[in-house]
Amino acid sequence: MTDVPISEPSPTVRVLLVEDDDFNRWLLDDYFTHHGYQVLSLAEGSSFFSTLAQFQPHVVLLDLKLPGISGYQLLEALRQNIEFQHLPVIVFTAFAFRTERQRALQLGVQGYFVKPSHPETLVAAIEKVCAR
């Protein structure tokens, strides 16, 4: 009998979902969890950095229109933070204007999706950035 190497299970991808709309947050959280991701959801951005430090996500799915602080402000602060400046961010927003998209891309996002988008496209984007 030959020894067959047992492969280690791949670590679960951790997704930090920042979305203020309750229905969208619940739907995406449920969909991503169903696809095997470990998801932590925030309804606003005030605890964003403390959550990053504690949860250590592999990718952030970020809405740009949030109460209290905009997703753009979070992105700018993230890119200035040495510990998290290279963390992949995928934007999922209602902002459909080209200038909004360009601004987010200039801040280094890895994907920009306009609501409504099918959750499968977001899963494909997560898989793409996590494969790098």
User: Region 86-100: what's the mean pLDDT?
Assistant: 92
Assigned domain for 6 exists: no
At 33-52, the pLDDT tens digits run 999 999 999 999 999 999 99
Closest by alpha carbon to 116, among 43, 63, 59, 45?
A: 63
Number of domains in the chain: 1
d(CA 36, CA 50): 24
pTM: 0.88
Closest by alpha carbon to 64, among 84, 41, 94?
A: 94
Tell me the residue range of the domain where 70 lies: 14-131
Closest by alpha carbon to 65, among 88, 95, 41?
A: 95
Assigned domain for 7 exists: no
At 67-91, the pLDDT tens digits run 999 999 999 999 999 999 899 999 9
Assigned domain for 5 exists: no
52 within 8 A of 87, measured Cβ to Cβ = yes
Assigned domain for 2 exists: no
25 within 8 A of 19, measured Cβ to Cβ = yes
